[in-house]
Structure 1
Amino acid sequence: MTFSIEEIQRSSIKDYGAFYLFQSIAQSIGLLRALERALPNYWQEVFNLACYLISSGDPFLYCEDWINSTECLPVGSMSSQRISELLAAISPDSREAFYQEWCQCRSEQEYLALDITSVSSYSNLIEDVEWGYNRDKEALPQINLCMLMGEKSGLPIYQTAYSGSLKDVSTLKTTLSKMNALSKGKPTLIVMDKGFFSTKNVNAMLNDAAKLRFVISVPFTSGFAKKQVESERKDIDSLQNTMVLGEDSVRGVTKLRAWNKDHKIYTHVYYNAMKAMKLRENLYAHVALLKERAEAHPAAHLQEEEYSKYLLIRNSEKSPLGYTVSIKEEAIRQELETGGWMILITNDVTNAKEALRIYREKDVVEKGFLRLKNSLDLGRLRVHKDGIMQNKLFIGFISLILAAHIHKVMLEKNLYKKMTMKKLLITLSKLRIQVVNGTRILFPLTKNQSTIYKAFNVKEPV
């Protein structure tokens, strides 16, 4: 087939490769079917927006440019005004219908319930935005998100937002009741980071009539955690206690410890020698540089917090500069005391390696949320109504499903040794389609593009 010069000049060239991967994944895992059944009037727009978030990481404001330059689902214009109307139009019933459909697509036998992160907001009109503990140390009100994950697939199944000022078991139990109904009573293991830890919370979970199953990290502000480290410090660093997870090796031991007079709890103690050494070397180098600078200009650093944390700067008539500088050895010792150590407690998982594997799965989802907050423009909820906030998070959730699947395949096929996820998407986006007089012409695939599609078991586009 041949075309005239005028036809070629009037033709359009659009990116296609990355969107083709997203669409193929969504089709294979049942995501498109769930969206179409739950949101028959909006599913194409929602899916395009989710793909846009992964592809660009820019605010919704710029989505129209991406739509115009990408071969995606035919939705017409996606102006800022239209996106605002979409965010206002999706009902809570439609979101819940999607979660129901999506859960039915998955064949999970067990779930992980992850209490993960906070998302900050400038709005005072969103009901659940309250001042509370902010994991990012930001002086902003926030909401918290809890997510249900498939234990085997690693895919997000359900998410719900709740008040940023609440982080106790009563709130968690309300969230779990919703998840339990959705998963039809399949076993759920709650996995929580140290921000949720308190003696009160652990006692409440141990005493709960529903016999909640949990794994939680214990911070070193807790005397219980420090006591476990001291009890294992002399003996943990041995070949017998070594376990290998991926390319990482750690020492780990498990003891059944008394928690209170009524309960015992599995206590998993871990020591990462490489992490401890790296922490020590970095701290030593940091303090050495601080000391050099303080000795050169002691008066300039006298009131600086970072210097006073590690150094003692004193007046001295004998010193040429009028000051002496010494290292606070006890402060260094205390900071390194728990370096490389981690404590997990659980009423369910008896094996240290399995407990650590489960907890690390949570880390994968944490990174997914970081993508939502940092790259996917959800770090600040730039919306001022509760429904719009929920729908923006909902679209982010669809993005996270796709990103989680891509991450899982990249791990399984060792693609991370060759490229990052961003590099993978950039490589695919260079596969383009030219439309000349209504005829679609696909550019030739490169070797790298073909390798990526093969890794994902996706048929090459034609």
Structure 2
Amino acid sequence: MPAKASCEVKTRTVRQPQKNGDIYVIERQTRYDPVKKYNVVLSSRIIGKIPKGETSVVPTRPKRSSGEKVSVSNEPDLPVLASRRKVGMMDIIDHIGKASGIDDAIYASTDQGAAKKILSLARYLLATNGQSFPGITTWQFTHPLPYEEGLSEDIYHDLFETVGRDESLIQSFFESRLSSLGGKALLAYDSTTVSTYSGRISEARYGFNKAHDGLETVKLLSLYSIETRQPVAFTKQPGNQPDVITIENALKQLQVLGINSAEIVTDNGYYSEKNLAELLHAHFDFITLIKNSIKWVKKELDSHLDEFRTTSSACPFDINTHGITIMRMQEFSRARKYASTKKGLAEGDEEIFRRRIYLHLYFNPLRRVEQDTVFDKDIFELKALIEGGASEEDLSDSAAEKARKFLHIRHYGSKCTVTFNEKAIATQKKYHGYFALVSNCEKDPFECLRKYRQRETIEFFFESGKQRADGNRTRVWSSECLMGRMFVQFVALCYYEHLSEQLRQLKQSLASEIADPENETSETLKNKKKLLSWLKNTPVYLTLQWFDAVEEVKVSTKLLSRRWTTEITARDRLLLEKLGVPAF
């Protein structure tokens, strides 16, 4: 039978390890509670600590009572505490994150710790113009970031893996980006390739490499809002996948994220009758570049060649370009995913349907001259290669095909003579200068052309990703890390595109205010002219770097604390005011 508890107060000493390696020596008083049947702690007092790496106990500072200051003789007297941080550029970036809604969307998509790490890495990419991530380990000491605990290579590597596996986080952020567009969105859809040295990324394949560096690539596909000039979503696919097969997944992503009405603009890499059928079936509008060589397009072009010489066919905003529109009832087909008793079709059967589409044909004489010049240069180079002894096996497939089509090659013993096939060349040049767009919604050829040309903004976006977000190489060794890294880069590009658009609008606003000043003092007008001239000649990165010279100094003494920042000029103060950034 167990002994009866005495219920006396007992005093004992315990050692409690801390995260920093120190060990606290704690004196505790306990008493057994017969009702609760366990020892209850009556009091706990720290009597000393064993510093990390030592064995002897060091007394700790006694707890101070309210209003009492305690001086410990073995601690050094620190009369002044001071710090210096570069805050000018970071305050602007912080304002961008809040004003654009990017920060709120990230915080709403994941826990606070992960959100702060993502935003810190994205801000680092923007502030350094795409420096590689290892540089953040020292850079963060002088620049304030949302994640104050500090980022090491292990921390952000683990973050990439976590984010790469968290599809809910990624899609939630995309949903937030798309919901901010409102109304009917005008979206550009295109792809680029990212090279990799890694042999462990399953999506890395040999295919068309836009960098032409001979490496395996991963394909990055993006949706970009043309009107707001903001990236809204992305995905990755194996590098050997052709663009033409990717449109169906993009439509599914838009629909599941709540976008059921959008106008999608693509180049000719995405044209196929299957893709048009999918767009029409999903009730999305589209504009896409289409090749002149397609049979029904070529037939329409031959029938309307004389119409491009009229003055009325000239484009109002580009007189060198002439355009006409042909409305057609086009037949499309798509494989049914489900059987239809009403239509008598089984699953997988081809369903035929007809829709109205608008074929817009264009001609530009300057474009014809350029294409003729490039064509002639290629043919002359090819002729010289063959006359120099190159055989058909030495040529690339495309070059060999050109040689067979446009050159007459005759061999007389060891001698080779090459002449031009002028008839075939004339047939080829007949269609130089012409191009075509097809749409199911745009009836006016020049409005359709205007929207298509705006698609070029996504090309600038891809260029920014590679030059300003460290996007030329994957720099990771697994698919999960790659997706997490791409997401952080995407957030950084959201920052960059928002700031770029703000600066574009500001330049337009300043030009208008200078041209028509109202109640402006001469000094204000002078500063506006200075600011406009500076912005026109300074890229976004250098604009941010200019403000990186603004430092904040904090000094605390026993008597009081003070902070101050570097002074800025009237021109710089005007820029901050126009952007809505709080004064430093």
1 or 2 for the larger relative contact order (CA 8 Å, sep ≥6)? 1
Mapped to 2, the partners of 1:413 and 1:232 lie a distance apart of 44
Amino acid at match of 2:272: S
Range that drifts further, 126-135 or 30-39: 126-135
Unaligned 5+ runs, structure 1 = 1-6, 317-321
Alignment match of 1:269 (pick from 343, 357, 361) = 361
**Partner SS state of residue 490, structure 2:** helix
Say if 1:66 and 1:230 are closer, same or farther in 2 by CA, change over 3 A: farther
- For residues 379 and 199 of structure 2, what CA distance do their matches in structure 1 show? 46
Equivalent residues of 1:169, 1:205 under 8 A apart: no
- State how far apart, in whole Å, the 2-side matches of 1:244 and 1:21 are: 40
CA offset digits 1:271-327 (Å, max 9, x no partner)? 33333344445666x579969x969xx7499988889969889999xxxxx998876
Hey, what does 1:51 align to over in structure 2? 123
- Within the candidate set 274, 285, 289, 1:217 is matched to 289
Asked if the contact 1:242/1:251 (under 8 Å) is kept, the reply is yes
2:134 aligns with 61
Cα distance in 2 for residues equivalent to 1:81 and 1:43: 17
1:319 matched residue in structure 2 = none
Aligned residue type for 2:263:
L
Question: Residues of 2 paired with 1:420 and 1:74: CA distance?
Answer: 34
Query: Cα–Cα, structure 1 residues 445 and 363, in superposed 2: closer, same or farther, change >3 Å?
Result: same
Residues 1:394 and 2:487 are matched in the alignment: yes
**Cα 1:178–1:230 shift into 2, 3 Å:** same
**Which of 460, 467, 470 is residue 367 of structure 1 equivalent to?**
460
Q: Give identity over the alignment, percent.
A: 19
The answer as to 2:148 corresponding to 1:31 is no
**Cα distance in 1 between the residues matched to 2:292 and 2:213:** 22
Shift of 1:255: 1.0
Partner secondary structure for residue 195 of structure 1: helix
Quote the residue 2:93 is aligned against: 22
Report if the CA contact (8 A) 1:71-1:433 is conserved. Answer: no
Deviation at 1:347, TM superposition (A): 1.9
Paired AA for residue 33 in structure 1: D
Secondary structure of the 1:236 match is helix
Structure 1 pair 199–96 and aligned structure 2 pair: CA distance change class (3 A)? closer
What residue is the counterpart of 1:241 in the other structure? 313
Change (3 A) 1:252 1:443: farther
> Does residue 1:434 correspond to 2:551, yes or no?
yes
1:155 aligns with 2:272: no
TM norm structure 2: 0.62
Say whether residues 1:343 and 2:414 are aligned partners.
Answer: no
What is the SS of the residue equivalent to 2:475?
coil
Q: Deviation digits for residues 64-109 of structure 1, max 9, x if unmatched?
A: 35434545445354333332122123232222333344444x1511
Distance 1:177 1:288, change over 3 A: closer
CA distance in 1, matches of 2:170, 2:355: 40
Partner SS, residue 383 of structure 1 = coil
Q: 2:472 aligns with which of 379, 388, 412?
A: 379
Q: Which moved more, 1:433-442 or 1:389-398?
A: 433-442
Q: Would the aligned equivalents of 1:118 and 1:164 in 2 still touch at CA under 8 Å?
A: no
After the TM superposition, which of the residue ranges 43-52 and 60-69 deviates more from structure 2?
A: 60-69
After TM superposition, list the pairs within 5 Å mapping 1:206-355 onto structure 2: 206=280, 208=281, 210-245=282-317, 250-260=321-331, 262-280=354-372, 286=377, 299=388, 333=426, 336-355=429-448
**Any conservation in 1 of the 2:100–2:498 contact (CA below 8 Å)?**
no
1:423 aligned onto 2:539: yes
Residue deviations 1:318-353 (CA, integer Å, cap 9, x gap): xxxx99887675676566544443211122222222
Aligned partner of 1:180 among 255, 267, 275: 255
Q: CA deviation at 1:430?
A: 1.7
**Letter paired with 2:492:** S
3-state secondary structure, aligned to 2:228:
coil
> Is the contact between residue 111 and residue 148 of structure 1 (CA under 8 Å) also seen in structure 2?
no
In the alignment of these two chains, the number of paired residues is 439
Equivalent position of 2:521 in the other structure: none
In the superposition, relative to structure 1, how do residues 146 and 304 fare at CA in structure 2: closer, same or farther (>3 Å)?
closer
Superposed CA offset, 1:138-194 (max 9, x none): 7555444444444642322232334445558875334322321222x5412232221
- Residue in 2 that maps onto 1:194: 268
Question: Secondary structure of the equivalent of 1:158?
Answer: strand
Aligned-pair CA distance for 1:228: 4.3
Q: 1:97-108 counterparts in 2 under 5 A?
A: 97-104=172-179, 106-108=180-182
State the AA in 1 paired with 2:442: V
Tell me the distance in 1 between the aligned counterparts of 2:431 and 2:366.
Answer: 13
- Give yes or no for contact 1:312–1:325 (8 Å, CA) kept in 2: yes
1-side partners of 2:431 and 2:139: how far apart? Answer: 48
Question: Matched residues in 1 for 2:409 and 2:217: separation?
Answer: 40
CA contact (8 A) 1:315 1:324 kept: yes
In structure 2, list runs of 5 or more residues that go unmatched: 1-78, 333-353, 509-531, 556-562
- CA pair 273-182 structure 1, distance change in 2 beyond 3 A: same
SS of structure 1 residue aligned to 2:307 = coil
Going from structure 1 to structure 2, the CA distance change for 1:234 and 1:331 (only over 3 Å counts) comes to same
Amino acid at match of 1:385: S
Q: 1:267 Cα deviation (Å)?
A: 0.6
TM-score, reference length from structure 1: 0.77
- In 2: Cα distance, 1:259 partner to 1:235 partner: 22
CA RMSD of aligned residues (A): 4.3
- In structure 2, what is the equivalent of residue 4 of structure 1? none
CA separation of 1:395 and 1:70: change in aligned 2, threshold 3 A = same
- 1:460 deviates by 5.9
Could you tell me how far apart the structure 1 residues matched to 2:269 and 2:465 are? 20
> What SS does the corresponding residue of 1:430 show, helix, strand or coil?
helix
- Structure 1 residue 112, shift from structure 2 partner: 4.0
Structure 1 residue 364, shift from structure 2 partner: 0.7
- Which of structures 1 and 2 has the bigger CA Rg? 2
